[in-house]
Amino acid sequence: MFHISPELRQIQSNALCVYDTELTEFINRKVQVLKLQNPEPVYTDDEINEMYEQLKQVNITETLKREQHKQSLKSSATKEAACVVCHKPVSQKVKQYCLSNKNFNGKIYCFDHQKTIPTRKQSV
Ligand SMILES: [Zn+2]
């Protein structure tokens, strides 16, 4: 039991004095006031579900992107380049040559398989 002297109950300030016997009533009154001020729920159940679904999807996308980003970092960090046909490792020079060669469509070929790629002039 809180004891609050009668003078304190009349206190004029932003501080609020509530008797414990009045506390439940006070809270109920406050809830009622809030309900009156917001007659409609801020969000419907459907809207909440929709937001939840969207968040879930975004999160999955972020996870995938993170994984892709990690993979791309890994592959560029190791700097390994290999022929797309025989998977034989090639040097950085070969890799750069292949990537700059438009006939290769951004793919990397070893010396042997570079010869098998038709140039644009040949493939009519
Ligand atoms: Zn090859």
| pLDDT band, very low/low/confident/very high, at 123 (cuts 50, 70, 90) | very low
Q: What is the distance in A from the centroid of ligand 1 to the CA of 106?
A: 15
* Each residue's pLDDT tens digit, 26-40: 888 888 888 888 777
Q: What is the distance in A from the centroid of ligand 1 to the CA of 75?
A: 19
> Do 113 and 85 form a contact (C-beta atoms < 8 A)?
yes
At residue 11, the pLDDT reads 53
Residues 116, 123: Cα–Cα separation, whole Å: 12
Q: What is the distance in A from the centroid of ligand 1 to the CA of 107?
A: 11
| pLDDT band, very low/low/confident/very high, at 6 (cuts 50, 70, 90) | low
Q: What is the distance in A from the centroid of ligand 1 to the CA of 113?
A: 5
Calculate the CA 16 to chain-centre distance: 43
* Each residue's pLDDT tens digit, 72-92: 776 654 567 899 999 999 998
